[in-house]
Structure 1
Amino acid sequence: MSSINFLGAASGLPLDELVSTFVNVERQTKMARIEKTNTTLNASLSGVGQLRSALSNFLDATKKLSGENLKARSVSITQPEEGKTFIQATAKNTASAASFDVMVNQLAKGSRIESSDNLFSSADAVVSSTDGELTFEAGDKSFTVAVTAGMTLNQLRLSINESAQNFGVNANILNTGGTAGTKLVLTSNVTGQGNDLVIRNNNAELDNLSTVATATSPGLNLVAAAQNAIIELDGILITSATNTFENAVQDISITVLNETPLGKNARLAVSTDKKAVEENLQAFIKSYNDLVDKTASLTRNRILGADGTVTLDSGALSGDSLPRNILNQIRGILGSEIADAPEQLKGLFALGITLDKAGKLEISTSTEFSSETGKMRFDRALTDNYDDLAKLFGGENGVVSKLDALISEYNKPGGIIQNRQDNLQARLKENTKASEAASRYLTSFEDSLRKRYAALDTLLGQMQRQQASVNAALSSLPGFNVKKSS
């Protein structure tokens, strides 16, 4: 900017206002196009982002219709008594619908070992005067604890419980205060018949701490053997080494927590989860319809009122063919038949899902064109062809796979939409550069004008002073009157 702060001060003319007018006209001419371009590019960038997000949401809803999700099984359990859980169960998607009475006769338990009465006088009793090792075994699991010379019974308890390799052996000391004295008690969480805890040693002095003696006789005795869980399914006896019965009924896992009361059984029922499938299908329909609405909003044309004023602005991607091209390709997939699907369920129409007049998906209840409504076909498919839904949507050539391949091609990093966004970002940067260049030009333009008009202001001021000087000289001559200009 020029250092002249009072342009026109010499001549008295409004030169500063004149320069400002010229600069504003030039600014409007130069910047209006740049600002309009910037607004258009930002709107387009936002619109492409909204389109990408809508496609992602639709794809997320679509993927919930993958084969496994459409074969979900529902498990219901009636416990024999309220407020207490006796059994739990889960079912794979390949489980058959069925129901069973479940009686829990016995829970699986680990073994329990105790030291002989009066073997130890107290928790501070020394268990060995020499070093050695105790090896704990149950089933296919084992770990070893070092016993040092002078170690007390309590120190041994801590070493067992704190061993990093301990597979589930708990050591406790009972100070009975009676004739039994102090007892070492060990329990194992390895369940199942034949998986009793066994303790061996490599030093005969440790026989009192073992179930298998090296020299004479062991000091630890098995007081409770490990046992299996036992249940009856509709009167059929089934055993398990753990409290979980895997595939006692094929593809169903049953976990027992408590023995059932005498004469009161739990009831287990497995059925197809139609509610979950219907919810996923309705979410798929809604997500597609949201995509249709978003596409319409992004691509709408400007609407003018009767008086020529704008009543609705155009969409961010008005005139852009990309959104409608994508939507048309999606519609093509939704309307096509799936070769690998069963004959009675080749496409969405057979499932009862159709397009309405607005191009949205619906499960129609109308009988305008047929006595069989879309809702009738939908309900029949869920009842008669439940597992076939997975073949329609899942699989290598199913609806989900086709939509995933199409939308991912547009939405993936480096894909068509990403390239469009990158291009718009690049154009915005170029437009920013153009704006900065225009700002520099306007600064230069204003400086140039101010310099020119400053020179004019100085010249006019000099001329005015010369005129005043001449008028003064003439007026001093005898008989000479100067007529002042009005």
Structure 2
Amino acid sequence: MSAITSTGVGSGLDIESLVTKLVASEGQAPTARLKTKGTKLQANLSALGQLKSALANFQASVQGLTNASVFQARTATSSNTTSFTVSATPSAAPTNLSITVNSLAQSAISRSVDFSSDTALVGAGTLAINLGASSFNIATDGTTTLAGVRDAINQATGNPGIQATIIKVDSGSQLVLSSNVLGAANTIGIVATDTDPLDGGDLTRFATTNLVSVQAAQDASISVAGQLATRSSNSISDVIPGVTLSLIKADPVGGNLMVALDKNPAQSKINDFITAYNALTSTMSALTSYNPQTKIAGPLLGDSTLRSVQNQISQALSNPMQGGVAGFSTLADIGITRSKDGVLGLDAIKFNNAITLDFTAVSTLFTSSNGLAANLDTVLTNSLSSTSSISTRVAGTNKAIGNLAKEQDKLNVKLAAIEARYRKQFNAMDSLMGKMQATGSYLNQQFFTVAKN
């Protein structure tokens, strides 16, 4: 909203305009000083924020290299995936073995003799049902039906894994018992005790000798490099250390299992590391730059805090690893080079050769407790901590910006007082001039009257 101006009644002067210009003149120098200082502080705060962000991004890439599993990844393949698939943990040794799946592990399935219907009475007594070495009992009475036996088996709290169902076929209703546990040891057996031979039922019809085997319990059988191995599961992880075989179907043709070092995760993490470091270098260079043509300097040119962090990182990158494997103790040894302007690059051929020659030594360079990643992570953690020089600088800069705001408030109060004082003085002057003009007019009128008479 524009200021309301008025002309002095007595003097005819534009008092408001004069006051505004005089106050502006009074505030021009201190306002410019505060603005210049504020601009510089904001530039420093932004620069410190950029530095912290670049350091944090670099630290994330460094921490990605502290995990030894990155350097222990394995590829595991099967040449006959219709018969078996394979996976491998970092502990698996590189290998190439022939595998033949002779038979799959399967669970037992048995059925009872025919009953007239699912409501047929089965007789009173007990059924001691076992699945391998585990067993449970169910009790029946004179009113128990075939469906009642099914329900009692399925609802038994001690049931180790037998499922009962009734099928209705041309010859009658049959109780089918199927196991959900694989392996030759997990056979289904029933000891039937009929306690009332005169009740019209015959519980012994469920006894093992009267059950019909639909599918025999069976172990998986495989041949590994021509040697036989049997297991009670189709997922086998204890034949080849670190390797899990998932059997799909028996196949006399067989296939090959191949486990190899997987270089991709390590190379990906190292590329991330190089990219983040180069981004950090670029940020530091921009913050400390100087253009002689424009005479414009970066906000942190000559800054001791940035220079200290820069030197610590450079030293951690350059120092050979203490206790490292000969020929694998520096970045240069594995193909990571640094140019004169501080940019990192990767010699892919040298890096692949290093990994192929000694993957463990490359891993140790980065992941050991005194390795490159650990040392860099310590430097970066210290640089980004709440007590670091950078954090102290940020806090100090924020405080200085707050103090500037207080100074501006004080200046505004001072200028308001000056404005009031000027307005009071000019109004007094205007009032005085008005009185003087009135007196002059009166005297002129008196002189005119006397002269006329």
Task: Indicate how the Cα distance of structure 1 residues 253 and 415 shifts in structure 2: closer, same or farther if over 3 A, else same.
Answer: farther
Query: Could you say what secondary structure the match of 1:338 adopts?
Result: coil
Residue 460 (str. 1) matches residue 430 (str. 2): no
- The answer to whether the Cα contact below 8 Å between 2:112 and 2:205 also exists between their aligned partners in 1 is no
Q: Answer yes or no: is the 8 Å Cα contact 1:340–1:392 preserved in 2.
A: no
Cα-to-partner distance string for 1:220-272 (whole Å, 9 max, x where unaligned): 66543432222222322222222221142222222223333x42x23321111
Per-residue CA deviations over 1:355-384 (Å, capped at 9, x if unaligned) read 2111122246xxxxxxxxxx6643431221
Cα deviation digits, residues 370-412 of structure 1 (max 9, x gap) = xxxxx66434312212221011111111111111111111223
Relative distance call for 1:451 and 1:394 in structure 2 (3 A) is same
Deviation at 1:61, TM superposition (A): 1.7
Q: What is the CA distance between 1:126 and its match in structure 2? A: 7.4
User: Please, which of 158, 165, 175 is the counterpart of residue 172 of structure 1?
Assistant: 165
**Secondary structure of 1:117's partner?**
coil
Deviation at 1:194, TM superposition (A): 0.8
Matched, 1:37 2:34: no
CA contact (8 A) 1:102 1:233 kept: yes
When the two structures are superposed, what TM-score results if normalisation uses the length of structure 1? 0.78
**AA paired with 2:187?**
D
Contact 1:409 1:416 in 2 (8 A): no
8 Å Cα contact 2:124-2:194 kept in structure 1: no
The Cα shift of 1:274 comes to 2.4
Read off the aligned partner of 2:428 and give its amino acid letter: A
Residue by residue, what CA displacement relative to the aligned partner does 1:39-75 show, whole Å, maximum 9, x if unpaired?
Answer: 3233222222222221222122222323321222222
Out of 137-146 and 430-439, give the one that drifted further: 137-146
Matches within 5 A, 1:374-413: 377-413=350-386
Percent identity over paired residues = 29
Alpha-carbon distance in structure 1 between the residues aligned to 2:60 and 2:182:
44
Give the equivalent residue in structure 2 for 1:68: 69
| Unpaired runs of at least 5, structure 2 | 197-202
Classify 1:173/1:344 alpha carbon distance in 2 versus 1 (closer, same or farther; 3 Å): same
Residue among 267, 276, 282 paired with 2:256: 267
Q: Residues 28 and 391 (structure 1 numbering): CA distance in 2 closer, same or farther, change over 3 Å?
A: same
Task: Look up the match of 2:117.
Answer: 121
The CA distance in 1 between the partners of 2:131 and 2:422, in whole Å, is: 99
- Give me the whole-angstrom Cα distance separating, in 1, the residues matched to 2:383 and 2:319: 20
C-alpha RMSD of matched pairs (Å): 3.8
Q: How does 1:12-411 map to 2 (within 5 A)?
A: 12-66=12-66, 67-79=68-80, 85-118=82-115, 121-122=117-118, 138=131, 169-176=162-169, 178-181=170-173, 183-196=174-187, 217=207, 223-260=214-251, 262-263=252-253, 265-301=254-290, 303-305=291-293, 313-363=296-346, 377-411=350-384
SS in 1 for 2:184: coil
Counterparts in 2 of 1:475 and 1:438: CA distance versus 1, 3 Å: same
- 1:451 matched to which residue of 2? 424
Structure 1 residue 473: deviation in Å?
Answer: 3.2
**Does the 8 Å contact 1:41/1:428 carry over to 2?**
yes
- The answer as to whether partners of 2:117 and 2:172 remain within 8 angstroms in 1 is no
Render the CA deviation track for 1:89-144: whole Å, top value 9, x for unaligned. 222223221112322222222332433321x723x6677999x9x89765687889
Mapped contact 1:137–1:197 kept (Cα < 8 A): yes
- Distance in 2, matches of 1:456 and 1:136, equals 119
Q: Which is further off, 291-300 or 135-144?
A: 135-144
Unaligned runs of 5+ in 1: 206-212, 365-374, 481-486
Aligned residues: 444
Q: TM-score, normalised by structure 2?
A: 0.83
